[in-house]
Structure 1
Amino acid sequence: MEVKERIVQEACRFFLNEGVRRITMDEVARRLGMSKRTIYEHFRDKTELLHCCMLASFAQNDEEIAHLEGNCEHLLEFVLRVLDYGSHSVKIINPAFFEDLRLYYPKLYNEMVAYRRDAMVDQLRKLIEQGMKGGYFRSGTNAALVAKIFMEQMLAMNRRDVFPPELYSQSELFETLFLTTIRGISTKNGLQELDQLLSDYQKKQL
């Protein structure tokens, strides 16, 4: 693994687990056993490091989703596996990460939200359209609108003033939002199949 790749991989973990504000460039260097000079040879400043970390995180997420899709027999199985993946993923993210970004790096936060929003809305729109063709989701559903609403609610998940972390876990928020959205657009047959898959999944977790 190249030095720059290692820095991004480890720094991303530090930021996601502990928030952005408390992890300084000095702290990144100390934890990696590197000189601060080595860090600055690859990154102009903390903002650039954060930018690279977020892009790497997005790329990894897309890779995981593509892998899940390629290993599912039908759409609702993929939907359930995305739910499971998302629920586990948000557990490792400290709510302070997004709050710190929004408060202390607003330009980067807005750029990354805009960059990611369009891609995720498009992915979800395509998923909903596939579900409509398969009879799992109601015909006539405005897939683009549902996808946009879902994305905006996802962004609200990270607002401490809206969802205090001491009252709502990120995992509970994500699962509730995801299932409420999917169930709300499902057909009767789609709901039956989804409920059966959920029941089977929950039994495996026991």
Structure 2
Amino acid sequence: METILPLFRQHGLKAVTDEQLAAALQLSPSEFRQRYPSRAALVHEVTLADMERQKRGHAALFAQYSTAVERLYALIEYGLNDMVGVAPSYIADLQEYPETWAAVLDHLTTYSAPQTQQLLNDGIRQRLFRSDINIQLVTKILLEQVNLLLNPQVFPPDRYNMAEVFRSIFLYYVRGLCTEEGARIAANHFSRL
């Protein structure tokens, strides 16, 4: 699946032909059609594999950082870097596969949101995030900010420096959630970028 995912992400799910997919998997076109008779099943399998890849990436990131502030910023950066070079049609194409899109939404609900909530809880316990924040609401806002940043109609990449947009959205918002110590860590983290 790791050889197919980059093709789908770079060109979109519809633009990649079965012949290109077969070549990427080093299969003949007939072997490919026999193994993957349904594009929907292939897209679903690739998407599930991608979610597992992301989880492994997140675990590796968390091993690098000890504070919730750094982990939250690193997690956001990872997600944004992961979307660099993804065809604008990719997400829209995914939505045309109901079973796969349901799995994506379930992943957001059962993995991404709880992960963010846990980071916020950890940050409160570490006295890096303010104790009066509404964790569920802040989680929703953070996830929506990622969607906002990734929307090319809002921030066309040819008109905006995406690193500066990232900095403007997340540095100031997350810093506002921080205690004085958390804000210091946030500033140090961003100074290394």
- TM-score band by shorter chain is 0.7 to 0.9
Q: How far does residue 182 in structure 1 lie from its aligned partner after superposition?
A: 1.6
CA contact (8 A) 2:148 2:154 kept: yes
**Deviation sequence 1:111-147 (CA, Å, 0-9, x none):** 1332122110110001001111111111121111111
d(CA) in 2 for partners of 1:183, 1:56: 34
**Following superposition of structure 1 onto structure 2, how do residues 93-172 of structure 1 map, counting pairs within 5 Å?**
93-102=86-95, 105=96, 107-108=98-99, 110-118=101-109, 119-168=111-160
Alignment pair present for 1:79 and 2:67:
no
Q: TM-score, normalized by length of structure 1? A: 0.79
The residue number in structure 1 matching 2:48 is 55
C-alpha deviations, 1:54-101, integer Å up to 9, x for none? 111111111111122123233333334334433432224232311333
Q: Is the 8 A contact 2:130 2:177 kept in 1?
A: yes
Deviation at 1:168, TM superposition (A): 4.4
Instruction: Give the TM-score normalised by the residue count of structure 2.
Output: 0.83
Whether the 8 Å contact between 1:122 and 1:144 is mirrored in structure 2 is no
Structure 2, unmatched stretches of 5+, are none
Segments of 5+ residues of structure 1 without an aligned counterpart are: 1-7
Q: Determine the structure 2 residue equivalent to 1:3.
A: none
CA RMSD of aligned residues (A): 2.5
- Given that residues 136 and 190 in structure 1 are in contact (C-alpha distance below 8 angstroms), is that contact kept between their aligned partners in structure 2? yes
Aligned position for 1:196: 188
Going by fraction, where is helix more abundant, 1 or 2?
Answer: 1
| Aligned-partner residue type, residue 85 of structure 1 | Y
Structure 2 counterpart SS, 1:81: helix
State the 1:185 CA deviation.
Answer: 1.2
| TM-fit CA distance, 1:46 | 1.2
- Asked whether 1:25 is paired with 2:45, we answer no
Q: Report SS of the residue matched to 1:151.
A: helix
The amino acid of 1:75's aligned partner reads A
Does residue 91 of structure 1 match 2:84? yes
Letter in 2 for 1:30: A
CA distance in 1, matches of 2:162, 2:98: 24
Deviates more, 1:19-28 or 1:52-61: 19-28
- AA aligned opposite 1:194: A
The amino acid across from 2:86 in the alignment is I
> Identity over aligned residues, as a percent?
24
- CA 73–151 in structure 1, closer or farther in 2 if over 3 Å, else same: closer
User: In 2, Cα distance between the equivalents of 1:169 and 1:39?
Assistant: 41
